[in-house]
Chain A
Amino acid sequence: MTEAHSPPTTIQQHVFPNGLVLLAEAMPGVQSAAFTMLMPAGAAYEAADGLNLPGGAATMTAEWITRGAGDRDSRELLTALDNLGVSHAESAQTLHTSIAAATLGRNLEPALELFADMVLRPHLDEEEVEPIRALCAQNLRSLEDDPGSKVIYELRRRHFPDPWGRPSPGSPEGVASLTPADLQRFWETTYRPNGAILGVAGAIDWPRLRDAVGRLFGEWSPRPDPRIQERPAGPTRDHILRETQQIQIALARPAATVDSPDYYAARAAVAILGGYSSARLFTEVREKRGLCYSVYASYEGHRERGALLCYAGTSADRAQQTLDVMLAEIDRLGRDGVDLEELQTMRAGLKSSLIMAQESSMSRSGALASDWYFLGRVRSLDEIAEALDALTPEEVSRYAASLTGPEGLTIVTLGPNALRTTSA
């Protein structure tokens, strides 16, 4: 596959005086419109100087803003969104609190009005805090019953310097102790236009959208950037004891950041290792040896750091061999490199995904916002396609060599027994 065939699109951008960045892409042929708003109000900011809040503040606040805002109480607000046919999710992750929503293009502007109320004029009614606390405490208990998700949260907590691996659902102690005043302070400090990014894609009219966003979010006042002190995390080897059927295996190691010249080589190396069904992990662990059902590698980027994450879940009697094969495959990738055919397969997969994303206003709005977060600009599809085309097997092989060795490697397992974590 050599041609990118990306259809011509226009990406517009505008930075409002308060710092809010608006990015928009009109997509021919779709009736829907979607937006993704990223605010630098993720769980990591619970640890900001002057806040020092325990885990759970970001998630509880993201729930609190939906419970009444502007002229509407909780029920009126959700009903208004339903009547506009808005599919929406308000959630805190580690870095951001995000609002993602999609609806018919003609309902975009009235939907944005409702979300502007949520972000700028939430009621933050104290009576809502106890129900939110009960809900978040139960979500944490359900997470304990979900070993596959649990192990990834525990991996990220140990691998990234604190607080950049903080689990967004929080901790039971944090959720139990946070007061309405704590949450109010979190909202005041972190929900701010400077650092916020709004990506919009689909059936849109740019001048009208820009004016509407200016009108709805223009009076949002900037606040000082919170300061965060990084602390080392760890341990780099850990086992969480659970009487489960399977052992969950998760490992991470540092990889190039999105703005690094090595970024595309890193993405290629990770994809060739475990990004699709003919990739090495799936082939060696599942197809050839039948060791597990689920195994993959993925890339995770923050602005200042990137990581290769690998996951597998399998029975106790196969888990050691599974981990050994995973580590051996990372070593082999670094030692022997990749060949041209693998590189072409990886390219075909990423390019197809990019073009197919043009059929989804939701995924485009998310891509616009995240590009701006990482790079301070939006990449065109052609730019990405050209960067992928320019990669050589030598370049990817050279990069893959940096992914091997024990330094920086974090391994977390969860299940009835621990595993040996050195390469066989």
Chain B
Amino acid sequence: MPFHQTTLPNGLQVIAELNDRAHSVAAGFFVKAGSRDESSEVAGVSHFLEHMTFKGTDRRDALAVNRDFDRVGAKHNAQTSEEDTFYHVTCLPEYLPASFDVLSDILRPSLRDEDFETEKQVIVEEIRMYLDNPMSVAYEAAKTAHYGGHPLGNSILGTVESITAMSAPQMRDYFDRRYSPANIVLAFAGKGQWQPLLDLAEKHCGHWKGGPASRQAVPAHGSGAFRAILRAEDQQQTVVGVADGPPLESPDRYAAHLLATILGDHTGSRLYWALIDPGHADGAELSYQDYNQSGAFFTFLSCEPDSTRVNLERVADVYRGLMSEGPTEEELVQAKNKVLARSVLRSERPMGRLASLGFHWMYHRAYISVEQELEAFGRVTSDDIRRLLGEWPLWPMTIVSVGPTTEIQPPA
């Protein structure tokens, strides 16, 4: 699949991976602006700003934004993480000019006062929705416990208090600092040709202004703390564990993904056989999350409150077992086969390619094809995984437990 890239004079990076066999085309703006870039006075501003972009521009009010996407059948959305805000649209190729007109327009939002106050209520409802979800509560609390004062521990949504207290000028100031073209990558994937895509980018984004943006990405080291939070109304106990892992800059991230697959994939992994198959828990997974200059292995556990302690010991046994002996060759091959097939399936849709393409360019300034990515996974050896575990032990880890019991001790 042909790949193209350029930088517009204002600093906006534009990339495209073209696939003539696709039926659709996906476009996305990757803004390096997430909760780790926020001060505590504006906790949640990145995510709130993501909502506000859809509330309108000088050319469109909120209803027009939604209407102009929908009337060409474009599928659009956005998401905010600790590190990035990602705006995307997928549509049929002939409607890309119309869809991209809207998507690029909302990256220069009006941020009107009255919309700001209405949308505050929506954000507060989103926060309350997640407060009714034990896994979300445990995940947020685990990040806070693990990272302490490091910005990676910041909440993405913020709190009801921080959102209520936020002012529109504070958001405008944040926008001016983070949404400058040099801090954004524009990516296209799917059916299309480079020159018309580049023309679209220049026409709609060439006039964007803004200076350089910076982020102090200081490597984070977790606390290994233990916390038990009471939620008397829950039926199940929900536990999230966090251990440090390799950062996204590290070539070890491929080994880290395979390690997480071997240990904690939702099916056929060591945690699956130790906890799910015997019916000890209804959820037991491990996943690897890479961050700018940091990385983390997240453990997720859901089980009956009374069996939390013994289940945590089972998790510890699984992790210690792999740390002392490493993976078998069979399970490494099995994990590679899983990763390969999932990667091929995902990449058959332009939207499935867009995210990995854009994030990779943002942090590595490099293109990696599906084939190259699969080769990188293929090269990982069991010795790589042993070395990785030596450098980034999975146990002990930060543990946060949420649910009806606080009578839990972390395993020694």
Spell out A's residues near B (CB within 8 Å): 1, 5, 7, 28-32, 67, 74-75, 78-79, 81-87, 102-104, 107, 130-135, 138-139, 141-142, 144-148, 242-246, 276-279, 282-283, 286-294, 313-315, 318, 341, 344-345, 348-353, 355-356, 358-362
Contact = CB atoms under 8 A, between A and B. Distances in A.
B337 interface: yes
Contacts of A79: 268, 330, 334
17 contacts: A31-B344, A79-B268, A81-B268, A82-B334, A83-B337, A86-B341, A87-B342, A104-B344, A135-B279, A148-B132, A245-B131, A246-B129, A294-B129, A315-B125, A349-B73, A356-B24, A362-B345
A7 B23 CA distance: 9
B345 A83 contact: no
Given A277-B66, A283-B63, A290 B341 contact: no
Given A134-B279, A358-B23, 5 more contacts: A79-B268, A133-B279, A138-B281, A148-B132, A315-B124
Contacts of A294: 129
B278 A145 contact: no
Interface string B286-320: 00000000000000001110000000000000000
A144 B233 CA distance: 10
Contact of A82 (B74, B282, B302, B337): B337
Contact of B302 (A83, A107, A138): A138
A379 to B, nearest CB: 18
A348 B70 contact: yes
B71 to A, nearest CB: 5
Interface string B54-83: 000000001100110111111110000000
B246 to A, nearest CB: 24
Interface string B317-341: 0000000000000100110011011
Interface in B110-162: 118-126, 128-129, 131-134
B267 A78 contact: yes
Nearest to A27: B348
B350 interface: yes
A239 to B, nearest CB: 16
Contact of B91 (A139, A352, A360): A352
Contact of B282 (A142, A349, A362): A142
B27 interface: no
B21 A141 contact: no
Contacts of B337: 82-85
B21 A29 contact: yes
A133 B282 CA distance: 11
B62, B91, B279, B304: residue with the most chain A Cβ atoms closer than 10 Å = B279
A341 B95 CA distance: 17
A242 B131 CA distance: 14
Pairs A-B, 3 closest by C-beta atoms: A85-B341, A134-B279, A352-B73
The winner among B69, B121, B129, B334 for most chain A CB atoms within 10 A is B129
Contact of B304 (A138, A145, A360): A138
B88 to A, nearest CB: 13
A360 B73 contact: no
Contacts of A142: 235-236, 282-283, 302
B279 A85 contact: no
A293 B279 contact: no
B388 interface: no
B341 A348 contact: no
A131 B278 contact: yes
A1 B279 contact: no
B178 to A, nearest CB: 23
B344 A32 contact: yes
B92 A5 contact: yes
A314 B132 CA distance: 11
Contact of B92 (A144, A286, A318, A352): A352
Given A78-B268, A104-B341, A292-B125, A282 B133 contact: no
A315 B236 contact: no
A395 to B, nearest CB: 20
B132 A245 contact: yes
A367 to B, nearest CB: 15
B276 interface: yes
B101 interface: no
Given A86-B341, A287-B63, A352-B92, A134 B134 contact: no
Given A142-B235, A142-B236, A245-B132, A355 B24 contact: yes
Contact of B132 (A103, A246, A279, A360): A246
B405 interface: no
Given A74-B277, A355-B23, A85 B340 contact: yes
B249 interface: no
A278 B268 contact: no
B22 interface: yes
Contacts of A131: 277-279
B90 interface: yes
B276 A135 contact: yes
Contacts of B108: none
B273 interface: yes
Contacts of A67: 277
B67 to A, nearest CB: 4
B67 A278 contact: yes
A313 B130 CA distance: 11
B4 interface: no
Interface in B6-39: 21-24
Nearest to A348: B73
Nearest to A283: B63
B227 interface: no
Given A145-B134, A145-B234, A293 B268 contact: no
B24 A359 contact: yes
A349 B334 CA distance: 39
A144 B235 contact: yes
B51 to A, nearest CB: 9
B172 interface: no
A355 B95 CA distance: 13
B349 interface: yes
B186 to A, nearest CB: 21
Nearest to A31: B344
A322 to B, nearest CB: 10
B177 interface: no
B402 to A, nearest CB: 10
B280 interface: yes
Contact of A345 (B24, B70, B238, B345): B70
A32 B21 CA distance: 14
Nearest to B278: A131
Contacts of B342: 85, 87
Interface in B232-272: 233-236, 238, 267-268
Nearest to A202: B348
Contact of A348 (B71, B120, B235, B350): B71
A359 B66 contact: no
Contacts of B276: 135
A242 B279 CA distance: 27
